[in-house]
Structure 1
Amino acid sequence: MPRSASRPLLPALLALALLLPAWPGWAQPAGGQAAPPMDWFDLAMGCTAGLALFLLGVALLADGLRAAAGDRAKRLLGHATDGPLRGLLTGTAATTLLDSSSVTIILLIGLVDAGLVGFAQALPVILGSNIGTTVSSQIFALGIEDFAPILLALGLLARALAPEPWRHWGLALAGLGLVLFGLGTLGEAVKPLQDQPGVTEWLRSSDAPLRGMLIGAAFTLLIQSSSATLGVVITLASQGLIDLPTGLAMMLGAEIGTCSDTLLATLGRSRAAVRAALFHLGFNIVSVAAGLLLIDALAGFAAWSAGDTAQQIANAHVAFNTVGALLCLYATPALARWMDRLLPDGRAGRPATAAAE
């Protein structure tokens, strides 16, 4: 299995610093009208608590799902060789089970490195993993934070009382409850920002597609989870702090930032494993570039698909990742041959391990 999904508090604090910089315009909005008084310390503590609970919940959810379904997902990945469509569906299912495209791709890299899955067969699975990440954004957009205590209680009861195989599912359920609780805490913490014109103006200035994309990529690099980034973006949108173009740009940036883990996982592995990670990075860069060029069309679809901004962003996430994967799916054999010539077989470093540890 890959390294633990547990995240220290430092990334949460760094992410808070990214979202809430000491911006001079925040204290005095344009036009000279003073913003309503606000306790910035309470805001910082509330955001820190919400982000920390959210990231802890993501870690528990991932740990529980990997323990409960990790071997099943690994076997599933190992049999994803019967055509591009099956590979796509396999990657989608495995990522849904593991709640992490990075974990899916790291496991896949291990299988490719060991020769258990061919490089060409791995590419549709990688595309499917991008679709699988959209499940969590739909959950975040449902606005079911009020049910977080129920999920926490049920998860803890299962963890304590259920037979061994079900205890891991209990941990995952408790993790999901903590994720929703953290999002609810974060949402309550940022509500006062609605009355700070300087803050809302700065956040909405990120609707410049390139700027918003860079913020989304940087945030994802800090917290090492595109799903977590989408959760925060959807929460900010639900509070009216960012508009649809800003949320879409940040969503696109998260697709770039999520590639860091998979690139690190290729250190010392075979060229085939390196090619798999480079395909993931290249596909995400090309698709995000296309998304930036077509962001008005994406925003138009999102606005048509739902009434509130949070759900619009989640729906756009599904459409963007699904359409991109399907457009590329049947080109994967040609792409695999091209990458074989670009980076021929050979060792990239130390001897390969049998699978992702």
Structure 2
Amino acid sequence: MGEEAKGIDFLSLGLQVVAGLALFLYAVTLMGDTLKELAGDRMRTFLARFTSNPFSGILTGTVATTLLDSSSVVIIMVLTMVNASLISSIESFGVIMGANIGTTISSQIIAFNIAEYSPILLVFGLLLSTIGENETRHKIGKVVFGAGLIFFGLWTMDKAVEPLHNYPPFFEWMKKLDSPIEGALIGGLLTLIIQSSSATVGIAIVLASQQLISLQAGIAIMLGAEIGTCSDTLLAVIGRSKEAVRAGLFHLLFNIASVIIGLLLIHQLVATVEWLSGDAPLGRKIANAHVLFNVLGVVLFAWFIPYFHRSLNALVR
């Protein structure tokens, strides 16, 4: 072990990573809550109006998640509407699938290396949110401030892990994540703890940008995050109607089925992403894999929505 590796202050490193993660999670929550306030009843009307068939539901879920920057917010909103009999469970399935596609937009944004410009967003957002008395402008300012805080949190984590380049034991541990099962378990557990699949994928992108994990390890972590994010949905259906329970179970089963296929074909997924991404940075390749995996999963299973519905009707009587 080199002298520089021996000099790593792991307490300071850990505190910086935790601080960066805390900023990221707070920013995601701030943006999600503020965007939900801005959209409010209009988003519920939008969801109810365009769910008449699975494919319009998929498009609706994609657009809603992109606008609200949170698949959990959209899915929980949909479950509430199902519980209130505003839409049926089968109408919610397409929206839930679309939410999986919409959440990949955040990973694409995270993969842009614009962290050094985060102070501009922070200052601009702070000014918008505090100057004047226009409530809508204040909320837009909060969203801009949250975006800046996301990139600043990622930058903090990125700088914190730089010393690990000179610490061989960390590389040895990271190599274990190349095992699809172990990588997925880590991704799922991390998402379960921090309650944000976007943060888990963001961490994978940060580690990849520092060349600390391989593309396969990053994809495995991302696949695990797809399972971990279902915890929000399952908690949201406790005590709800049977229709809402069916919708929540659909989210879990759809994600599990997609991830199993992803793990079985992970080598093919890695090769396809390498081919499509060319010389793109490793972090961008993980973001591209996130998009490719979720889009292919929706394309594959969208045709089987009626079968899912019949099976869940039989399961939840």
> For this structure pair, what is the TM-score category when the shorter chain's length is used for normalisation?
over 0.9
The counterpart of 1:155, out of the listed 109, 116, 125, is 125
In the alignment, is the contact (CA less than 8 A) between 1:70 and 1:98 conserved in 2? no
Count residues in correspondence: 314
TM-score where L is the length of structure 1: 0.85
The counterpart of 1:273, out of the listed 244, 263, 283, is 244
Answer yes or no: is 1:314 the counterpart of 2:284.
Answer: no
Q: Residue 277 of structure 1: SS of its match in structure 2?
A: helix
**1:81 matched residue in structure 2:** 51
Q: Which amino acid aligns with 1:325?
A: V
Answer yes or no: is 1:61 the counterpart of 2:34.
Answer: no
Answer yes or no: is 1:338 the counterpart of 2:308.
Answer: no
The counterpart of 1:214, out of the listed 185, 188, 191, is 185
> Any residues of structure 2 matched to 1:83-98 within 5 Å, and which?
83-98=53-68
CA distance in 2, matches of 1:288, 1:70: 32
Q: Residue 122 of structure 1: SS of its match in structure 2?
A: helix
After TM superposition, the structure 1 stretch with the greater mean CA deviation from structure 2, 72-81 or 294-303, is 72-81
TM-score where L is the length of structure 2: 0.95
Q: Which amino acid aligns with 1:130?
A: N
> Any residues of structure 2 matched to 1:1-357 within 5 Å, and which?
35-161=5-131, 163-306=134-277, 307-344=280-317
CA distance in 2, matches of 1:101, 1:59: 12
CA distance in 2, matches of 1:121, 1:182: 37
CA distance in 2, matches of 1:52, 1:101: 19
In the alignment, is the contact (CA less than 8 A) between 1:142 and 1:311 conserved in 2? yes
In the alignment, is the contact (CA less than 8 A) between 2:51 and 2:60 conserved in 1? no
In the alignment, is the contact (CA less than 8 A) between 2:62 and 2:95 conserved in 1? yes
Q: Residue 184 of structure 1: SS of its match in structure 2?
A: helix
**1:17 matched residue in structure 2:** none
1:36 Cα shift? 4.3
Q: Which amino acid aligns with 2:118?
A: A
After TM superposition, the structure 1 stretch with the greater mean CA deviation from structure 2, 332-341 or 34-43, is 34-43
RMSD over aligned CA atoms reads 1.5
In the alignment, is the contact (CA less than 8 A) between 2:226 and 2:259 conserved in 1? yes
1:271 Cα shift? 0.5
CA distance in 2, matches of 1:60, 1:175: 6
Q: Residue 86 of structure 2: SS of its match in structure 1?
A: coil
Q: Residue 331 of structure 1: SS of its match in structure 2?
A: helix
1:72 Cα shift? 2.5
In the alignment, is the contact (CA less than 8 A) between 2:187 and 2:228 conserved in 1? yes
1:334 Cα shift? 2.5
CA distance in 1, matches of 2:127, 2:38: 16
1:71 Cα shift? 2.6
CA distance in 2, matches of 1:187, 1:108: 35
